[in-house]
Amino acid sequence: MSDGEPAVRPAPAPADDGRIPEDPPVVEATGIVKRFGPTVALNGARITIRPGETHALVGRNGAGKSTLVSVLTGLQAPDEGTVTFGGAPAPRLTDRDAWRQHVACVYQKSTIIPTLTVAENLFLNRHDRGRHHLISWQGVRRRARDLLSTWSVDVDPQTPAGDLGVEQRQFVEIARALSFGARFIILDEPTAQLDAAAINRLFDRIRDLQRQGVTFLFISHHLQEIYEICDMVTVFRDARHILTAPVAELPRSELVAAMTGEAAADRRDERASTVDTAVTAALSVQGLNGETYGGITFEVGAGEIVGLAGAAGSGRTEVAETVVGLRTADSGEVRIAGNRPRPGSVPAALAAGAGFVPQDRHHQGFVPDMSIADNATLSVPRRLGRNGFLSRSRRDRLAEGMIEHLAIKTPGPHLPVSSLSGGNQQKVVMARALADDPRLLVLINPTAGVDVRSKEFLLGKVRETAETGTGVLIASDELDDLRMCDRVLVMFQGRVTTEIARGWHDHDLVAAMEGVDLDA
């Protein structure tokens, strides 16, 4: 047999009862426990993936999906439990080449280096070397052409990777993974940035590769896609395995129920509506169109709390950021308390009456080395002095009032924000959003990464703010953030598809967010 020929596997011997035993799972993880300090990210989790199948892994944010992927790819070792590939124990974490021969992950954020060509990306650090150990670029390009041809990827190997579209980059990453010998590929939110036609092409590619013996773990927020492309589905909730079942045998309603938990379905928020219809709407959005959303029209009344819900890639975050001037719409109109701020200008939105808690407090919410007082008052310099001169005593008095109002745990206003806990950092961001008594409060994932007590406190302050007549827009996919809302607008693939009144069941909202028709 030549070196290039694949080895022929002998037929498995019959078992004692005459049956032909199944091939071992491509990957099997059992009893996986992973802790990060006091947080249990995985608690006895398990998954078994058989050869040639496309296996879905689904669950709400925080269910443990990303942590499991890091364990299955050898980026982290579990505190307890075992991982096997083809029945053999997983390699040592330090043996990266051995891991690449078993598994590869194509992440939502591409790992392709845009300044290199496709060929250079495919064989990075594995270049052919000719005389005097110099790289043979002709050999690299030839290997790249052969690899792309083998896996039917229609891309010129000499193309700069930065010129590729999202879909082409994914195909190149899959080909690169296969070149190491792996026949098990994890696809992490592969459709998040693709249009419908590209999604169909990706699914066709997955089916082709399945027929060639490649096995996939498919992670997606869009449950409808699970029913289109996957054979099996595993559900995680609260860091635990909930169920594994054939997709064809699992009704959509049961899948959503497994993700949300039956006990959560009956919870309600009894907040009395404080909407004042006699006052100009806190927010009016008319015909807003942008790169990731279209046809967005809605209002937030004075004293009303409106949720803007949707899975990753739905457009909810981009709409909220457009309202406060972080993004500029291609067309349409935004009015805040009757004022039309200059599009794409955060200062103009704040001057019109908006307060804003951004999605990522670390990169957008505060300056870590500045004091609590400076961070909390960044948006209200005119209240601190005149003609460009700021009064430290005014700043400190205002900050001390905010510290008391939001129960920020600190010995004083001069402490750097970076020294606070995550919950108290978020309170500082909230303090600045409320510093100028806004007519509209816009919050994006306002309780992300904070402890339970801080979450309850922050959401309580949102209620109090609405009761004073301020309109509130909450863009989030966290159900606890949305429970207090008078109504929730659900976005799917850039459009508002559903409006749900207060008192919803978890499984109904999640189904709408995932684009699932429970009656199908």
Q: How many CA atoms lie within 13 A of 205 on its CB side?
A: 23
Other Cβ atoms within 10 Å of 128 Cβ, number:
15
CA pair distance 11, 20, nearest whole angstrom: 9
DSSP string, 259-308: HH-GGGGG----PPP--BTTSPPSEEEEEEE-SS---EEEEE-BT-EEEE
pLDDT at 87: 92
Q: What is the pLDDT along the chain (520 residues), one digit of tens a residue?
A: 333 333 333 444 444 544 445 789 999 999 999 998 888 889 999 999 999 999 999 987 778 898 999 999 999 999 999 999 999 999 999 998 899 889 988 887 777 888 888 888 888 776 655 555 677 677 778 888 888 887 778 888 888 888 888 888 888 888 888 888 788 999 988 887 676 777 888 898 899 889 888 999 999 877 778 998 999 999 999 899 999 999 999 988 888 888 887 543 444 445 555 566 678 899 999 999 999 999 999 999 999 999 999 987 889 999 999 999 999 999 999 999 999 999 999 999 999 999 999 888 777 777 887 888 887 777 777 677 676 677 777 788 888 888 888 888 888 788 888 888 778 888 888 888 888 889 999 999 898 777 667 888 899 999 999 999 999 999 998 888 998 999 999 999 899 999 999 888 888 888 888 887 766 5
331: left (phi over 0), alpha (psi -120 to 50) or beta: beta
Q: Which helix (H) or strand (E) holds 146?
A: helix 137-150
* pTM exceeds 0.75: no
pLDDT at 2: 36
pLDDT at 63: 84
For the sheet with 215-219, list strands across it: 104-106, 184-188, 215-219, 54-58, 232-237, 240-246
**DSSP conformational letter for 22:** P
Same CATH topology for 27-112+164-250 and 269-353+441-502? Answer: yes
**End-to-end CA gap in the chain:** 53
Nearest 5°: the CA angle 283, 284, 289 is: 120
For the sheet with 331-336, list strands across it: 296-300, 283-289, 331-336
In words, the CATH class of domain 269-353+441-502 is alpha beta
pLDDT at 467: 93
Extents of the domains making up the chain:
27-112+164-250, 269-353+441-502, 368-435
Per-residue buried b or exposed e for 307-337, using 16+ beta carbons within 10 Å of the residue's own CB: bbbbbebbbbbbbbbbbbbbbebeebebbbb
pLDDT at 319: 96
Q: Do 503 and 313 touch, CB atoms closer than 8 A?
A: no
pLDDT at 130: 55
Taking domain 27-112+164-250, whether its CATH number is 3.40.1440.10 is answered by no
pLDDT at 8: 35
Q: Do 493 and 224 touch, CB atoms closer than 8 A?
A: no
Q: What tokens appear for 113 in the block?
A: 């280096």
pLDDT at 394: 79
